[in-house]
């Protein structure tokens, strides 16, 4: 197990003690990435994550450093107000910082304790969109060839699910949309190269053209991402990283389900450790290095569980922004001003 105390004592991490935004302003540091999830292997990178308070001057002048990124050590330290903004949207990369194991936190001060005592403020049904969106992004990384393991109909249904996940944010970004503004479904293909394809029925009247264009671009990008063989994906296969993307896809569903159904942030996946490591170690890759049909069935299973969790969740639709602002003001007044 990585000893984070010993890691940050090395010269490579001197910036934690010299950077003007960090030093005594750090609330806490913890492990990120595979070491945080418990899915690390020999040679896994060490990612350090944390949060720091702004200075009095930055508060008065309205400045913000947002984050300190040290690329050589893959360390990211968020400014407190930036972190709160991301947490309020249930951003997976930041919400997971509040669910690591106790021994993985260091420089854990009084302000950090208050943040953790109030982490429930940031949990809402927005997790359905954020974790679902990140899971979709992982699915798109599974190269076009992996998608072709599925029949056309199944493949098209995956695309529809991805579009429906993106649609959950449309009401916040665009002009009012009726519930039935668009219906997506799979039917016998018109395209001669396919057996089945996606069709749509649209019900919009007197709708702003530019808003519709933006929505259409989002949906078009999802279809495009599924269709292309990206350089990044090809390189991932060559470096045997496809199984890592597969593992993270399932992990995201698991974390999202925990949040939506139980209101718990569980970053270290002890219960599912062996299962996730089997995925990472290539159990569900075929002789060509592609995800097997069995794995895609597993994806369907957890995607369905995630969708059920969205419906059953008793979390509020959105976080209480007033309470969050009151909390931020309280922390700033106590520890900065």
Tell me the domains of the chain and their CATH numbers. 4-123+319-335 (3.30.460), 126-312 (no CATH)
Q: What is the pLDDT of residue 298?
A: 94
Count of alpha carbons within 13 angstroms of residue 46, beta-carbon side: 16
Mean pLDDT of the 60-83 span: 91
Long-range CB contacts (< 8 A, 24+ apart) of 128-131? 128/168, 128/256, 128/260, 128/306, 128/309, 128/310, 128/313, 129/90, 129/165, 129/168, 129/169, 130/89, 130/90, 130/91, 130/92, 130/95, 131/90, 131/92, 131/252, 131/253, 131/255, 131/256, 131/259, 131/306
Percent of the chain with pLDDT over 90: 56
Mean pLDDT of the 253-270 span: 96
Does position 112 have pLDDT exceeding 90, yes or no?
yes
Sign, Cα dihedral of 298, 301, 304, 305:
negative
Q: What is the pLDDT of residue 178?
A: 85
CA 230 to chain centre: 21
Alpha-carbon Rg for the chain in angstroms? 22
Q: Which residue has the higher pLDDT, 191 or 238?
A: 191
Residue 20: CB atoms within 10 A of its CB come to 9
Question: CB-based contacts of 308: which residues, under 8 Å, 6+ apart?
Answer: none
Q: How far apart are the C-alpha atoms of 262 and 243, rounded to whole Å?
A: 28
């Amino acid at each position: 197990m990585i000893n984070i105390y010993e890691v940050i004592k090395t010269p490579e991490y001197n910036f934690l003690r010299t950077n003007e935004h960090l030093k005594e302003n750090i609330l806490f540091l913890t492990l990120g990435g595979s070491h945080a999830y418990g899915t690390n292997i020999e040679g896994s990178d060490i990612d350090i994550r944390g949060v720091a308070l702004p200075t009095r001057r930055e508060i008065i002048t309205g400045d913000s450093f947002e984050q300190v990124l040290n690329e050589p050590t893959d360390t990211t330290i968020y400014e407190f107000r930036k972190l709160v903004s991301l947490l309020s949207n249930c951003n997976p990369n930041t919400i997971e910082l509040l669910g690591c194991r106790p021994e993985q936190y260091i420089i854990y001060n009084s302000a950090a304790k208050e943040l953790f005592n109030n982490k429930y403020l940031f949990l809402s049904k927005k997790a359905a969109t954020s974790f679902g969106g990140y899971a979709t992004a992982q699915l798109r990384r599974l190269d076009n060839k992996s998608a072709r393991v599925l029949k056309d109909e199944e493949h098209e249904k995956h695309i529809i699910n991805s579009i429906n996940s993106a649609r959950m944010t449309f009401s916040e970004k665009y002009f009012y949309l009726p519930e039935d503004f668009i219906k997506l479904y799979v039917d016998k293909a018109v395209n001669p190269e396919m057996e089945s394809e996606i069709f749509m029925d649209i019900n919009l009247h007197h709708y702003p053209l530019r808003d519709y264009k933006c929505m259409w671009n989002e949906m078009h990008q999802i279809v495009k991402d599924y269709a292309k063989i990206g350089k990044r994906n090809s390189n991932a296969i060559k470096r045997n990283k496809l199984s890592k993307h597969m593992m993270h896809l399932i992990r995201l569903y698991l974390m999202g389900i925990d949040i939506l159904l139980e209101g718990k942030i569980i970053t270290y996946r002890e219960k599912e450790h062996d299962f996730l490591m089997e995925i990472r170690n290539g159990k569900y890759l075929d002789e060509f290095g592609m995800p097997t049909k069995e794995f895609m069935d597993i994806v369907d299973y957890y995607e369905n569980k995630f969708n059920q969790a969205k419906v059953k969740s008793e979390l509020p639709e959105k976080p209480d922004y007033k309470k969050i602002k009151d909390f931020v003001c309280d922390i700033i007044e106590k520890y900065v001003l």
